[in-house]
Amino acid sequence: MLKNNAASFYDMPEVQKNRWKIFVSVSLFTFMATLDGSIVSIALPTITESLNIPMNKSIWIVAVYMITICTFLVLFGKIGDIVGKIKIFRIGTLIFVGGTFLSGLANSLEILIAARVVQALGAGMTMSTNLGIITEIFTPQERGKALGFIGSVVSLGTITGPSMGGVIVHYLPWSYIFWLNIPFGLLTLFLGTKYLPKDISKTKSRVDFTGFFIYAAAIILFFGSMFAGQEMGFGNIAILITLAISLLFVIFFIKYEYGKSSPLIEFAIFKNKTVTTGLICAFIVFGTNFFVFILMPFYLQTARGYTPSAAGFILMAFPIVMVIAAPIAGSLVNRFGANRLIMLGLSIIALVNLLLIFIKIDTNIVYFITLIALIGLGNALFQSPNNTIIMSSADKRYLGVIGSLNALARNVGNIVGVTFATTILFTAMSFKAGGHISTYIKGEEELFIFGMHVTFIVSLVFMLIALVISFTQNNKIK
């Protein structure tokens, strides 16, 4: 369980009095940072036309944000443990607001990408510290509920981005998808200045910058090749060589870190099987979620003919259920135990993936909405207890690093999910058609349905793996 220092926020009446105000400050920014990872996607056609750039280059407006976050999460988590998580969170908020403002001003692809890097640096600083802050502020009795709310906020930001972005670019210039975040960022800065306490939990350690550069090279090469592979094809020799080099950097990083007295990632963390299992399952769940997020808009709009706004409202069943159920699931941790809720959540998600294999072009829409809502329920039952058990099972000295690894599992899962979903879809469609297919073909709805079914078969396999891993670990604990 969590190990406390002599000083604790639990013993500070003023902090405990303002704990939910502190939570609002942290969660508001968490929503903004995750929202910005998905809201830009829907505006890419508009941005492409406005800046007069090729569509294949505009994908890097999204990619560079996600890659930068994944690159710096662990570094900022480590620094947060050393100098204070709240200090890093505050600085990150300020940097994010600055990057958001610059993004709205951009008049070229190069400037926009540079501004997105600044944004992502700020987002990475906050994402790597938010769970650690909540864990330190809230007592074990309330921690599950608080982390459950954070889980709701993350999912809400991710899934509402496209629908919100669509409304904004319909009525306003695309720059407003960034500028509308600024008032909320300033509110977060105000709340943070007023209510966030000074850090009392710090570690005596050093930052392994050499290890970070090795790690960064691995991340950038791997995810850069993943995004480039979407455009060039994963059979391209340059893509395959880059992926191989990234794997070599990963191996080199692990060997290098094991010999350090103060490594970037404390591998002793992974001796805690509860933490390791939780991170692996989180990676799988967020990855399979993106199978749904990527394919369902095509299913609803292109295959079934729903308008973008109607499709958006249908898919809102996920975050609505998630927002309601996640804090409830978090509060049930102490009553039923985190492991039971995690297994139930994983089982529901797996069941829905199984049922999605059989949906057709004329599947009853109420039944379809029910499936989407059940995914939200499954995620709520999984994410809140999983966050709680990961953060509460860790040594307090490593809360920043573990919080950043948790966020890294989520972001890596998102990227891998996007890549795998589209790759499997088009591969299956090509196999069925007997020729290469890399887009949706109008009038060939059944071809898309076939590819979608194959994609969800793969998604189901991943979920069954998560279930087996979680079940095995739970039995060991017993």
> Rounded to the nearest 10 degrees, how much is the dihedral formed by the CA atoms of 92, 97, 103, 106?
-120
Does any domain span residue 281? yes
Can you give the pTM of this predicted structure?
A: 0.78
Residue 1 lies in a domain: no
Any idea which of 6-20, 190-204, 262-276, 354-368 has the lowest mean pLDDT?
6-20
Choice among 208-212, 372-376, 397-401 with the minimum mean pLDDT: 397-401
Residue 321: which of 273, 372, 261, 362 has the closest Cα? 372
Could you tell me if 103 and 138 lie in one domain? Answer: yes
Residue 439: predicted pLDDT: 66
Which percentage of the chain shows pLDDT scores above 70? 91
Q: How do residues 42-80 score in pLDDT, each as one tens digit?
A: 677 788 888 888 766 777 888 888 899 989 988 998 898
Least confident of 187-191, 215-219, 368-372: 187-191
* Region class of 151: left (phi > 0), else alpha (psi between -120 and 50), else beta: alpha
- 319 and 245 within one domain: no
Looking up residue 474, the CATH number of its domain turns out to be: 1.20.1250.20
Q: What is the pLDDT of residues 312-328, one digit of tens each?
A: 778 888 888 887 888 78
230-255 pLDDT tens trace:
777 777 899 899 999 999 999 999 88
Pair (373, 396) in one structural domain: yes
The structural domain count of the chain equals 3
What local confidence, expressed as pLDDT, does residue 6 receive?
44
Q: What pLDDT is stored for residue 449 in this prediction?
A: 92
Structure tokens at 196: 């966030």
Spacing of C-alpha 278 from chain mean position: 15
Domain that holds residue 244: 208-263
Whether 293 and 250 share a structural domain: no
Whether residue 64 is contained in a domain is answered as: yes
Predicted local confidence at residue 308, as pLDDT: 66
Predicted confidence at residue 3, as pLDDT, reads 42
pLDDT digits (tens, 9 = 90+) for 371-394: 999 999 999 899 888 888 887 776
Contacts of 369 (CB under 8 A, 6+ apart): 314, 317
* Domain shared by 113 and 32, yes or no: yes
Q: Quote the tokens at residue 256.
A: 């290098």
Residues 2, 475, 151, 96, CA torsion sign? positive
Please choose, from the candidates 201, 187, 143, 155, the residue with its C-alpha nearest in 3D space to the C-alpha of residue 20. 143
Q: What is the pLDDT of residue 2?
A: 40
Q: What is the pLDDT of residue 220?
A: 93
Domain-ending residue, one of 156, 184, 204: 204
The C-alpha atoms of residue 324 and residue 329 are separated, in whole angstroms, by 9
**Is 41 contained in some domain?**
yes
pLDDT score at 1: 38
Check whether residue 412 and residue 424 sit in a common domain: yes
| Residue 316 and residue 233 share a domain | no
In 258-397, which ranges are E strands?
none
**pLDDT confidence band for 23 (50 / 70 / 90):** confident
- Cα–Cα distance between 269 and 406 in angstroms, integer? 12
Judged on CB neighbours under 10 Å (0-12, 13-18, 19+), 211 is buried
Does 418 reside within a domain? yes
Within this chain, do residues 239 and 197 fall inside the same structural domain, yes or no?
Answer: no
Predicted local distance difference test score (pLDDT) of residue 5 = 44
Q: Is the pLDDT of residue 455 over 70?
A: yes
Q: What does the alpha-carbon distance between residue 470 and residue 339 come to, in Å, rounded to a whole number?
A: 8
Closest CA to 77 of 207, 167, 178, 204: 207
- Percent of the chain clearing pLDDT 90 (strictly above): 29
Asked whether residue 283 falls in the same domain as residue 412, the answer is yes
Residue 474's pLDDT band (cuts 50, 70, 90): low
107 and 173: one domain? Answer: yes
Does residue 3 lie within any of the structural domains?
Answer: no
Q: Under 8 Å CB-to-CB from 29, ≥6 apart: which residues?
A: 89, 93, 96, 126, 130, 184, 185, 188
The answer to the question of residue 2 being in a domain is no
pLDDT for 147 beyond 80: no
- Both tokens of 420, joined, read 């795998």
**At 4, which amino acid appears?**
N
